[in-house]
Amino acid sequence: MQYDALIVGGGASGLMAACALALRGRRVVLLEKQGRVGRKLLSTGNGRCNLTNLNARVSDYHGSRAAAQAALRAWPPAKVLAFFEALGIPSAADEAGRVYPMSRQAASVLDALRLCCDENGVETLTDFAVAKLERRDGAFEATSADGRAVRAKFALVAAGGLAAPKLGACGDGCRLLEGFGHAIAPRFPAIAALKTPPQAVRGLKGIRAEVEIALLVDGEAVREEAGEVLFGEDGVSGIAAMQLARQANEALRGGRRCEVRLNFMPGVNAEGALRARARKLSKRRMEDFLNGIVPKRLGQALVRAAGLEMAAPAGELAGARLSALARRLNGWTLPVAGTQGFDQAQVTAGGARLKDFDIRCMQSLRCPGLFAAGEVLDVDGDCGGFNLQWAWSSALMAADGIDAALTK
């Protein structure tokens, strides 16, 4: 049997494209190398599935922003949410524009996509690792590692990136696209914890703090975020810190010096505040002096970083010593040695270059009839629903393109 479309990858993009095509009466086969579809989707939004962000704009994306902009125009968040509503997934947005299914369960989203596929005739073949994808005799043929083969008029590669290998990521999609002459932009982790020399954060594991955090590249701030950070045994995580990973990786790959600057008293002149505090708590030892401003162990680390004696009374805090501690509170700077790898990263930066695709429909310019969508392409977004928005919108653009070509 020859299908209208074969889709490589049963993740967010692959499932969405399969639904869209099947709802239009197209014969679709979905190929997934794992034993079940959508495993990574289940982990999104801490299991709640941050479907999209109502405020999504092109500046929330990296890589090919032209492709991201085309996708947002063709399938903006409101249109994507209407598609999900038709699948039985009502949603609600929070104050930041992040949209979740009303159930607050990623499993609901996966079930809706899977049920739509089942109800509309999609043939889903699991444990089908595509070893080879070829164009032969006017059609595409996907061959599994164990020799099985399926054919279709059109092919869509939606096999994801390298992030979260425990959930099945392996980079097969880029390998398949390379077989058709596609160039691949270097891939590296995005939305990942920042690594520092262990001695810089020794003793702080498990401590959380609300901060303003800036990434410094060769001493210049290139991005700033605000929110909670979490200290680990060899670095800093939490969404505010993880948002900086992409730019940090880019800079480090270019041999540039990276640091993060943490402000524990945003909007407050720490020097003036500490001077008044020292007068009020003049007998308190420095090891306890910052307790109440920041967690105790963090306060002790800042005192040590300022070169102060733990046993000294706060009443002696003045002059250069006061300024040194204030600088740590308003801007503790830590070197960045790297980021966590793909095993802990949420997203892959890099992928198949969009110069080789018609970004109006995600069709290959090197091989007509071949399409791609999602994380396999060189587009990645910030945290907050932007990456799933790209997954949905690029998949729906590809489905539109395949459907239009089948109609000709």
Whichever domain contains 164, its CATH number is 3.50.50.60
Q: How high does pLDDT run on average in the chain?
A: 96
Is 113 in the same domain as 143?
Answer: yes
Q: What is the largest CA-CA distance in the chain?
A: 86
Q: What is the pLDDT of residue 45?
A: 85
Separation in Å, CA 159 to CA 7, 34, 169, 391: 9, 11, 8, 11
Encoded tokens for 126? 């699991």
Separation in Å, CA 54 to CA 229, 348, 386: 25, 23, 9
What is the mean pLDDT of the segment spanning 343-364? 97
Q: What is the pLDDT of residue 305?
A: 95
Is 304 in the same domain as 376?
Answer: no
Q: Is the pLDDT of residue 391 over 90?
A: yes
Q: Is the pLDDT of residue 39 over 90?
A: yes
Is 164 in the same domain as 227?
Answer: no
Q: Tell me which of 303, 318, 339 is where a domain ends.
A: 339
Q: Is the pLDDT of residue 46 over 90?
A: no
Percentage of the chain modeled with pLDDT above 90: 96
Is 322 in the same domain as 221?
Answer: yes
CA distance linking residue 245 with residue 192, whole number of Å? 6
Is 335 in the same domain as 353?
Answer: no
Number of Cβ atoms within 10 Å of the Cβ of 258: 24
Encoded tokens for 116? 């739509």
Domain count, the chain: 2
Q: What is the pLDDT of residue 88?
A: 97
Q: Tell me which of 307, 339, 371 is where a domain ends.
A: 339
Is 175 in the same domain as 237?
Answer: no
Number of Cβ atoms within 10 Å of the Cβ of 179: 13
Q: Which domain holds residue 241?
A: 194-339
Instruction: Answer for the pair 319, 326: CB distance below 8 angstroms, yes or no.
Output: no
What is the mean pLDDT of the segment spanning 275-288? 96
Is 129 in the same domain as 60?
Answer: yes
| Residues present in the chain in total | 408
Is 55 in the same domain as 184?
Answer: yes
Is 95 in the same domain as 121?
Answer: yes
Is 34 in the same domain as 176?
Answer: yes
Q: What is the pLDDT of residue 408?
A: 83
Where does the pLDDT of residue 183 fall: very low under 50, low under 70, confident under 90, or very high at 90 and above?
very high
Q: Tell me which of 288, 315, 339 is where a domain ends.
A: 339
Q: Is the pLDDT of residue 30 over 90?
A: yes
Q: What is the pLDDT of residue 1?
A: 79
Percentage of the chain modeled with pLDDT above 70: 100
Is 111 in the same domain as 222?
Answer: no
Separation in Å, CA 265 to CA 99, 214, 274, 327: 31, 14, 11, 10
Chain Cα centroid distance, residue 128: 26
Separation in Å, CA 377 to CA 25, 285, 372: 27, 56, 7
Nearby residues of 268 by Cβ (< 8 Å), 6 or more positions away: 330
What is the mean pLDDT of the segment spanning 73-99? 97
Q: What is the pLDDT of residue 168?
A: 87
Separation in Å, CA 58 to CA 55, 65, 69, 240, 304: 10, 6, 5, 20, 43
What is the mean pLDDT of the segment spanning 168-172? 89
Q: Is the pLDDT of residue 85 over 90?
A: yes
Instruction: Answer for the pair 129, 145: CB distance below 8 angstroms, yes or no.
Output: yes
pTM: 0.95
Q: Taking Cα atoms as reference points, which of 236, 200, 197, 233 lies closest to residue 215?
A: 236
CA torsion sign for 163, 167, 171, 177 is: negative
Of 95-99, 163-167, 393-397, 399-403, the range with the lowest mean pLDDT is: 163-167
Separation in Å, CA 104 to CA 13, 41, 84, 397: 20, 13, 14, 27
Q: What is the pLDDT of residue 214?
A: 98
Q: What is the pLDDT of residue 276?
A: 96
Q: Taking Cα atoms as reference points, which of 53, 40, 56, 49 lies closest to residue 100?
A: 49
Nearby residues of 136 by Cβ (< 8 Å), 6 or more positions away: none
Separation in Å, CA 288 to CA 83, 300, 343: 56, 7, 38
Q: What is the pLDDT of residue 343?
A: 94
Nearby residues of 187 by Cβ (< 8 Å), 6 or more positions away: 161, 162, 171, 174, 348, 349, 350, 351
Is 231 in the same domain as 312?
Answer: yes
